Chain A
Amino acid sequence: MKVKYFAWVRERVGKAEETIEPPATVRTVEELIAWLSSQSEAYAYAFEKPKVIRAAIDHAHVKSDAAISGAREIAFFPPMTGG
């Protein structure tokens, strides 16, 4: 699946997007954040406060317990500050 990062999450991860293949045991947004955080210090730093991170699956906001199966694109970002 494709993963995109925005704002300071992108800066901390060090890339805007990538394609990942998490193990089948990773079923929710929350579990994906935990799995990514275990992959490197950059992810651990980006996701150090998981409660602050917002997620979207295929362009729609989702909660941390949302299932990721079937997702084409998952995005992680801080709370929005536009307008």
Chain B
Amino acid sequence: MTSPVTTCPVTIRIQEDDFDVAREIALLTKSRTDIGAVVTFSGICRGDEDSAKIAALTLEHYPGMAEEEIKRHVDEAISRWPLNGVTVIHRVGRFVPGQNIVLVLTASQHRQAAFQAAEFLMDYLKTSAPFWKKEESESGTGWVEAQARDDEAAARWTKS
């Protein structure tokens, strides 16, 4: 008996347009019977930050490097966990609260790998993918500062 063929299709997109979470899951799982778990993370523009109301966020990126940096970490995730599919979509442009910013989908036979890979990808996306947020709030407009807690979250995946 031959074992079922397992492939790991990878989709990485940086776009201004919105994404449809259900459609992306359907695309990832279509005609597949080897996938038992899909973990979905979607990042959404919040309406307040430290009790200040947010009017909008503008996302800027480094074209070329952003895709390559995400690809490097997707490749690492695939080498660390038995994944059957990965989708990463990051939007750029100006967003108002409630709008989608980022989507990570990880598919695997079992949930643990999918959960861990999704967390790993988000932690690295926040600290190493070249994207920057500018915030428009009641107190003015300014670039969002990097958080030490994001570096700490990424550091826990470092192999000893």
**B interface with A by C-beta (< 8 Å):** 43, 59-62, 64-65, 68-69, 90, 101-102, 122, 125-134, 143-147, 150
Contact = CB atoms under 8 A, between A and B. Distances in A.
Interface in A56-79: 56, 59-61, 75, 77-79
A82 B132 contact: yes
Nearest to B143: A8
Interface in A29-67: 56, 59-61
Contacts of B122: 83
Contacts of B125: 82-83
Nearest to B125: A83
Nearest to A77: B130
Task: Name, among A4, A60, A77, A79, the residue most crowded by chain B CB atoms within 10 Å (CB to CB).
Answer: A79
B62 A4 contact: yes
Given A6-B62, A59-B64, A83 B132 contact: no
A25 interface: no
A7 interface: yes
Contacts of B146: 78-81
A83 B102 contact: yes
30 contacts: A6-B60, A6-B130, A7-B132, A7-B143, A59-B62, A59-B64, A59-B65, A59-B68, A59-B69, A61-B69, A75-B130, A77-B62, A77-B132, A79-B145, A80-B128, A80-B129, A80-B130, A80-B131, A81-B131, A81-B133, A82-B59, A82-B61, A82-B102, A82-B126, A82-B129, A82-B132, A82-B133, A83-B90, A83-B101, A83-B131
